[in-house]
A = this chain, B = another copy of it.
Amino acid sequence: MRVLILGGDGYLGWPTAMNLSASGHDVATVDCYLRRNICREENISPLIDVPDLNKRVKLWEDISDRKIPVYIGDLRKWDFISQVFRDFSPDAVVHYAEQPSAPYSMLNRRAAILTLQNNLDVTANVVFAVREFAPDAHIIKLGTMGEYGTPDIDIEEGWIEIKHKGRKDKFLYPRQAGSLYHTTKIMDTDLLWFYVRMWGIRVTDLMQGPVYGLLTDENENDERLYPFFNYDELFGTVINRFIVQAVAGYPLTVYGKGGQTRGYLDIRDTLQCVRLSIENPADKGELRIFNQFVETFSVNQLAENIRRVGKSLGLDVDIKSVENPRKEAEEHYYNPAHSGLTSLGLKPHFLTDDVLGKMIETVIKYRDSIDTDTIFKGVKW
Contact = CB atoms under 8 A, between A and B. Distances in A.
B194 A167 contact: no
Contacts of A177: 194
Interface size class of A (residues with CB under 8 A): 35 or more
A51 B56 CA distance: 61
A33 interface: no
A368 interface: no
Contacts of A193: 176
Task: Output the residue of A128, A154, A164, A327 with the most chain B CB within 10 A.
Answer: A164
B174 A162 contact: yes
A153 B167 CA distance: 5
A327 B196 CA distance: 12
A341 B122 CA distance: 39
A168 B183 contact: no
Nearest to A193: B176
Task: Output the residue of A168, A176, A193, A327 with the most chain B CB within 10 A.
Answer: A176
A64 to B, nearest CB: 37
Task: Output the residue of A154, A162, A172 with the most chain B CB within 10 A.
Answer: A162
A333 interface: yes
A168 B152 contact: yes
Interface of A: 78, 109, 112-113, 116-117, 120-121, 124-125, 128, 132, 151-154, 160, 162-165, 167-169, 171-172, 174-177, 180, 183, 186-187, 190-191, 193-194, 197-198, 327, 333, 381
Given A112-B128, A152-B167, 5 more contacts: A113-B128, A116-B121, A120-B120, A186-B190, A190-B190
29 contacts: A109-B128, A112-B124, A113-B121, A113-B124, A113-B125, A113-B128, A116-B191, A117-B120, A117-B121, A120-B187, A151-B169, A151-B171, A152-B167, A152-B168, A153-B165, A153-B167, A153-B168, A154-B164, A154-B167, A160-B162, A160-B164, A167-B333, A172-B174, A172-B176, A174-B174, A175-B190, A183-B190, A183-B191, A190-B190
